[in-house]
Amino acid sequence: MSIVGAALLGYVLGAIPFGLILGRLLRGIDLRDYGSHRTGATNALRTLGLRAAAAVFVLDVGKGVAAVLMALTLFGDNGSAEWASAIAGFAAIVGHNWSVFIRFTGGRGVATSAGALGAMSPVTLLVLAPTVAALIWRTRYVSLGSITGGLLAPIITALLWAIGLASVPAIAYALASGLLVTAAHADNIARLRAGTERKIGQKEAVKPDG
């Protein structure tokens, strides 16, 4: 029951569409009508600007953190608490990408997955974040940095486990979330290979709905 409860908790938290909410409040638009048609921070940056995108990013990270920490709190006396938190974190990504509140649309899960990873294995995130940031800065491709981060996360977490700085549930989470985030970027991968992927800093022309 703890596992089922953790999955439901994580999904509902992840499904809160902060990007769409801020788009409506700040500009009167639906992010899904523009750019990548996603509700995450990257599309918010193109359509709403830097400050709004930063807010979306922080809130989406918070969903992953909250899912893990709430699962640990609720199931802390249970021997499966760490597994419950890993499942809650993964479910939060699923909720973010396929939100029941917005007809199973959403983002790609990068910020939410990073939040959950930071809550489960903060050292992994500390090692991974500079690499991802440097790659994005160098190439100007957010998608490439996100995919690389997703694929490196389980490797780094496993290495940290070998020296006693991470847990097996954290490895399982990093692997599952990394594969999910990578799969969510299938269209980006195709554009990267074709040389047509949009770089960070490119703006999207928007107008208020109606």
Residues 64-73 have pLDDT tens digits of: 999 999 999 9
User: How is residue 17 annotated by DSSP?
Assistant: -
Largest pairwise CA distance in the chain: 57
Instruction: Flag whether pLDDT at 75 surpasses 70.
Output: yes
The predicted structure's pLDDT at residue 207 = 66
Among the listed residues 165, 167, 180, 25, the one whose alpha carbon sits nearest the alpha carbon of residue 94: 180
CA distances from 185 to 97, 121, 123, 143, 188 (A): 11, 24, 25, 7, 5
Closest residue by Cα to residue 76 from 64, 67, 85: 85
Instruction: Tell me the average pLDDT across 143-157.
Output: 97
- Tell me how many domains the chain contains: 1
What average pLDDT does range 25-54 have in this prediction? 95
**What value does the mean pLDDT of the chain take?**
94
User: For the whole model, what pTM was predicted?
Assistant: 0.94
Domain-located, residue 182: yes
**Overall residue count recorded for the chain in this entry:** 210
| Residue 207 is assigned to a structural domain of this protein | no
Cα dist from 24 to 13, 16, 121, whole Å: 20, 14, 34
Q: Is residue 179 part of a domain?
A: yes
Find the DSSP H helices in the chain.
Answer: 2-14, 18-27, 41-48, 50-74, 81-97, 110-120, 122-139, 142-162, 168-184, 186-194
The answer to whether residue 148 scores a pLDDT higher than 50 is: yes
Q: What is residue 201's predicted lDDT score, i.e. its pLDDT? A: 74
The answer to whether position 115 is within a domain reads yes
d(CA 176, CA 150): 9
- 3-state secondary structure at position 99: strand
Percent of the chain whose predicted confidence (pLDDT) is above 70: 95
Q: Is residue 36 in some structural domain? A: yes
Q: What is the mean pLDDT of residues 121-144?
A: 96
How much is the average pLDDT of 179-199? Answer: 96
pLDDT band at 209 (very low <50, low <70, confident <90, very high): low
Lowest-pLDDT range, 9-23, 71-85, 105-119?
A: 71-85
When pLDDT is cut at 50, 70 and 90, the band that residue 205 belongs to is low
Q: Residue 172: is its pLDDT beyond 60?
A: yes
Q: Which range of residues forms the domain containing residue 32? A: 2-194
Q: Which of 31, 171, 176, 17 is nearest to 90 (CA)?
A: 176
Does some domain include residue 18? yes
Neighbour count for residue 51 (Cβ, 10 Å)? 12
Task: Tell me the pLDDT band of 210, cut-offs 50, 70 and 90.
Answer: very low
Q: Within 13 Å and on the Cβ side, how many CA atoms surround 182?
A: 14
In a domain? residue 22: yes
CA distances (Å), origin 2, targets 6, 120, 149, 173, 197 = 6, 17, 29, 17, 42
Q: Flag whether 47 is in a domain.
A: yes
